[in-house]
Amino acid sequence: MNFDLIPLDRSELARHPADALVLLLPEGAAGAGKDALSTFIAQAQASGDLDTQAGKCLQAWKVAGVAARRVLLVGCGDGSAARIRKAVAAAVTALRDAPVKHLVLALPETAASAGVQAAVLAAADASYVYTTTQSKPEPRKLRQLSLAVADVEASRDALARASAMVQGVELAKEWANRPGNHATPTHLAQAAQALAKGVSRMRCEVLGPKEVEKLGMGAFMAVAQGTHEPLRFIVLRYDGADKAQAPVVLVGKGITFDSGGISIKPAAEMDEMKFDMSGAASVLGVFRALAELKPALNVVGLIPACENLPDGRAVKPGDVVTSMSGQTIEILNTDAEGRLVLCDALTYAERFKPRAVVDIATLTGACMIALGGVRSGLFSSSDALARALQDAGEAAHDLCWRMPLDDDYAEGLKTRFADVANVAGRAAGAVTAAKFLQRFAGKFDWAHLDIAGTAWKSGAAKGATGRPVPLLLTYLLNTAPTEPRTAEAAGKGKAKQASNPAKNRAA
Ligand code: BES
Ligand code: MN
Ligand code: ZN
């Protein structure tokens, strides 16, 4: 989908050729002018058919004096970014099956950068369709979104950032949605390599079973030993800043299918365990956006990718393995595999002397029970890092909620047969999983995002959400010490001379 900006002028909007014109109207919006659109709005208001509550739609066809075939008046409440998001989602959903290729979307006069970003993300989300494994794909109808804003120049940076974010979200959705047989560890590694190819300052290295064995990743290898599909350890690097700047490391759980292994899962809804690489997909998505935006930042992405299947060679409950850190682990439940692949990736992260490490994982059903699909679970050993991630989540409308890490929660992980067990009891399952990971994250500031409830939707709307790409990207860009570079400037190693630096950073 393409985006562009046009001026917010009702006379011009009426003349603008498009398949549909959506006007977002905040509370008290008046149709003051004498132009065709204002007249139409005033009439709708006078007759009581206009409702400015966020998301309320009034659709009309062939309005006198308006070039666009369809006109949608959509309420956007107080005009905040959150209400704009809701309104745009409703409008684009209402037009989803209509033959609308080019949509003009007029934001309220007061909308700032945050409103532009909210509108772009909501429109992309509501019009997204998955097609990859369809034999007769029906591609997305919406091709062009023209945003009408009060100040076109002041909105350019926000649009560039939002458009990159959309590309990241859609790459994450694509890979998470793909079935397990179309998204093997090998496929994921190829996707990561393709992503980095030809992008300045970005590279990708892929380790296979031999290299992983050499590194001593016994926990990761134990999960992968029940399948014929070879594991992959993907290392993505984006070096947008000076070497001296410590990188942020993102670690994404990449279980391309989680059957549970010998501790096998029930059959109902097991198909959804193809989404168990959503953390990995979010890392790919963030790198996609970094490739677009070229911020002055160093970022490492680590993806331990494998299947969790039961066979004659599979790891068994009670087996003890040695992790890369040297700690031994008693695998009491082979379905608690995410923490096993992540713990070795966390140890690997030490070599980058990171500023912070954030792991992203569909780790526990318990987190889904605790927080549902609204907020991801956030665990962190650092108050500052937790704050930064929470703030990024609020700004990006990609929410998380901090959970506790008291040492008492680790009691259940004690065992007589190894340094640690991979599961505790049923109580506080999301927290005990985080406590397990924390044992491997002692050498840096660390945060863990449990996205089990937020990475995909079940039921009729089954599909990946692309979360938490907006949260992660916002966090990273907020920590960038200088303005983003343009692709060109980054290639020459020079910072861009931004005309209005910092103006659009807050979004
Ligand atoms: N991938 C699952 C977590 C999951 C389950 C996410 C359902 C979303 C929906 C993870 O590998 C897992 O199986 N966790 C177990 C841990 C348990 C054995 C301690 C769980 O949550 O049941
Ligand atoms: Mn599992
Ligand atoms: Zn899993």
Give the DSSP per-residue string, 11-53. HHHHHS--SEEEEEE-TT----SSSHHHHHHHHHHHTT----S
Both 188 and 312 in a single domain?
yes
Closest residue to atom 22 of ligand 1, CA basis: 365
Does some domain include residue 43? yes
Is residue 83 in a domain?
yes
Domain boundary among 122, 153, 184: 153
451 and 410 housed in the same domain:
yes
pLDDT at 497: 40
In percent, the amount of the chain with pLDDT more than 90 equals 93
Give the pLDDT band of residue 498 (cuts 50, 70, 90).
very low
Tell me whether residue 45 is exposed, middle or buried, using C-beta atoms within 10 angstroms of its C-beta: 0 to 12, 13 to 18, 19 or more: middle
pLDDT for the residue numbered 442: 98
Q: Are 267 and 247 in contact (CB under 8 A)?
A: no
Rounded Cα–Cα distance for residues 289 and 69 (Å): 34
Work out which ligand 1 atom sits closest to the CA atom of 263: 18
Same-domain pairing of 444 and 397 = yes
pLDDT digits 0-9 by tens, 218-267: 999 999 999 999 999 999 999 999 999 999 999 999 999 999 999 999 99
pLDDT at position 492: 41
Mean of pLDDT values over 283-291: 99
Q: How far is the CA of 89 from the centre of ligand 1 (A)?
A: 31
Instruction: Give the list of residues 6+ apart from residue 16 with CB closer than 8 angstroms, or none.
Output: 6, 67, 68, 104, 146
| Banded pLDDT at 482 (limits 50, 70, 90) | low
**What domain range includes position 81?**
2-153
Claim to verify: residue 301 and residue 367 sit in the same structural domain: yes
Name the residue of 259, 265, 334, 335 whose CB sits within 8 Å of the most ligand 1 atoms, as the mutation to test its pocket.
Answer: 335
The answer to whether residue 359 sits within a structural domain is yes
Q: So what's the pLDDT on residue 481? A: 65
195 plus 125 within the same structural domain: no
Query: How many Å apart are CA 396 and CA 58, to the nearest integer?
Result: 28
Q: Tell how far the Cα of 258 is from the centroid of ligand 1, in angstroms.
A: 9
288 within a domain of the structure (yes/no): yes
- What is the pLDDT averaged over residues 132-148? 96
Four-residue CA torsion sign, 281, 285, 286, 287: positive
d(CA 456, CA 171): 14
Residues 221 and 134 in one domain: no
| 82 occurs within a structural domain | yes
Whether residue 180 is found in the same domain as residue 146: no
Instruction: Please indicate whether residue 339 is annotated as part of the active site.
Output: yes
Predicted local confidence at residue 499, as pLDDT: 40
Q: CATH code at 279? A: 3.40.630.10
Q: Are residues 67 and 106 in the same domain?
A: yes
Helix (H) or strand (E) holding 295: none
Does 429 contact ligand 1 (Cβ within 6 A)? yes
Last residue of a domain, one of 121, 153, 185: 153
- Asked if 343 and 219 count as a contact pair (C-beta separation under 8 A), the reply is yes
Dist CA 489 CA 459 (whole Å): 46
What's 397's DSSP letter?
Answer: T
Which amino acid type is present at position 205? E
Number of domains in the chain: 2
The CATH number of whichever domain residue 140 belongs to comes to 3.40.220.10
User: Is 240 close to ligand 1, i.e. is its CB under 6 Å away?
Assistant: no
**CA distance linking residue 251 with residue 274, whole number of Å:** 18
Instruction: Note whether residue 273 is domain-resident.
Output: yes
**What DSSP designation does 56 have?**
-
- Burial of residue 138, with CB atoms counted within 10 A of its CB: 0-12 exposed, 13-18 middle, 19 or more buried: exposed
| Measured distance CA(27)–CA(74) in Å, rounded | 11
pLDDT at 5 over 50: yes
Q: 105, 121, 153: which is the final residue of a domain?
A: 153
- The answer to the question of residue 158 being in a domain is no
Of the ligands numbered here, which is closest to the C-alpha atom of 270?
A: 1
pLDDT of 21 over the 60 cut: yes
Exposure on the CB side of residue 273, measured as CA atoms within 13 A: 24
Q: Say yes or no: 145 and 186 in one domain.
A: no
Say if ligand 1 is within 6 A of residue 422 CB.
no
pLDDT at 490: 44
Rounded-to-integer distance, Cα 165 and Cα 215, Å: 34
274 is catalytic: no
If one counts every other C-beta atom within 10 angstroms of the C-beta of residue 119, the result is 31
Q: Are residues 242 and 180 in the same domain?
A: yes
333 lines ligand 1 (CB under 6 A): yes
Q: Is residue 7 located within the same domain as residue 42?
A: yes
Report yes or no on 489 lying in a domain.
Answer: no
CA 335 to centroid of ligand 1, rounded, Å: 7
> Is the same domain home to 346 and 397?
yes
Q: How far apart are CA 501 and CA 484, in angstroms?
A: 9
